[in-house]
Amino acid sequence: MPTYQTTGIVIGRTNFGEADRIIRFLTADHGKVSAVAKGVRRIKSRTAGHLELFGEASLTLATGRNLDVVTAARLSWYPHQLIAAYDRIGLAYAMAAAVDRLTEPGHPQPKLYALLSEALHAVDGGATGALVELWFKLRFLEVQGYRPDLTACVICGRHDQDAQYFFDAARGGIVCQNDSSSTSRPLSQPAIKLWRLLSDYPYVTVAQIADGPALATATLLSCDEFYEHHLGRSFKPGLVT
């Protein structure tokens, strides 16, 4: 079988046969890759410790007829600080599950790979709560091609620093008071600014914003509505094994 080399982050694992496991990786150059790790559930397996969920590994994969096969794996990074932090593990699960569900195999995903890597480093480093969750969702939406329109009213184009704006998930952005409807939620000017920064900047940068956590807590629900409207799935910590 021909082989190829890549680097992947483990985003999901499913037991297969008696001692095997199908591992789903996100890679930059091949997108999502599913590959069989043979004998990985045996106690003496030499590769098991290199294929942990959320870990990043250098891989040699053999191209199979149906599924690729892991022929070598070497762990290069693992979020060790996450082990005892249940709130942050839940967030990491939700991030990996979102990437797993919404990524098709066979398309290069360099931006998504960079985002997931950055997000896992952030939660491993202690990031928790609404700010990092809102940041991940807005960045993830951006990578998937769904950026909320936050520059002017999406209906009339009104752009006014002092006006009261609302966020309308179904219309894809902010609307002015006149164009707001029963489904629009208020989005303050500071919150609009925060959302713009979150859509564009790395987490280490936005983590410095003093009122970021409070603004994120107040507006996370609006982002959730937008996320579900466009991606058709809610973002919930689900158990991934």
Least CB distance from residue 160 to Zn ion, whole Å?
Answer: 10
Figure out which of the listed residues 38, 121, 147, 158 binds Zn ion, where binding follows CB under 5 A: 158
Q: What does the chain come to in residues?
A: 241
Residue 155 interacting with Zn ion (CB under 5 A)? yes
State which H helix or E strand residue 75 sits in. strand 68-77
Query: Mask of contacts with Zn ion, 165-204, x by CB under 5 A?
Result: -----------x--x-------------------------
Question: With respect to Zn ion, which residue has the nearer C-beta, 158 or 230?
Answer: 158
Angstrom CA distances, 240 to 18, 105, 128, 161, stand at 20, 19, 19, 44
Q: Which is nearer to Zn ion, 179 or 224 (CB)?
A: 179
Residue 153 sits in the site that holds Zn ion (CB under 5 A) = yes
The answer to whether the CB of 69 falls within 8 A of the CB of 58 is no
Q: Which amino acid is at 28?
A: A
Least separation in angstroms between residue 175's CB and Zn ion is 5
With CA atoms as reference, report the closest residue to 240 among 101, 53, 74, 4: 53
Find the shortest distance in angstroms from Cβ 152 to Zn ion.
8
Shortest Å, Cβ 141 to Zn ion: 22
156 binds Zn ion (CB under 5 A): yes
Query: If we measure between CA atoms, which residue out of 58, 56, 23, 54 comes closest to residue 38?
Result: 23
User: Closer CB to Zn ion, residue 147 or residue 158?
Assistant: 158
**Residue 60 burial by Cβ neighbours in a 10 Å radius (0-12, 13-18, 19+):** middle
User: Which is closer to Zn ion, CB of 135 or CB of 167?
Assistant: 167
152 binds Zn ion (CB under 5 A): no
Crossing angle of helices 130-143/86-102, nearest 10°?
10
Please name which of 16, 33, 55 lies closest in space to residue 24, comparing C-alpha atoms: 33
Minimum CB distance to Zn ion smaller for 114 or for 155: 155
CB of residue 226 vs Zn ion: minimum separation in angstroms?
Answer: 18
Whole-number Å distance between alpha carbons of 113 and 102: 13
CB of 150 to Zn ion, least distance (A): 14
Site size with Zn ion, rule: CB under 5 A: 6
Residues at the contact surface with Zn ion, assessed by CB under 5 A? 153, 155-156, 158, 176, 179
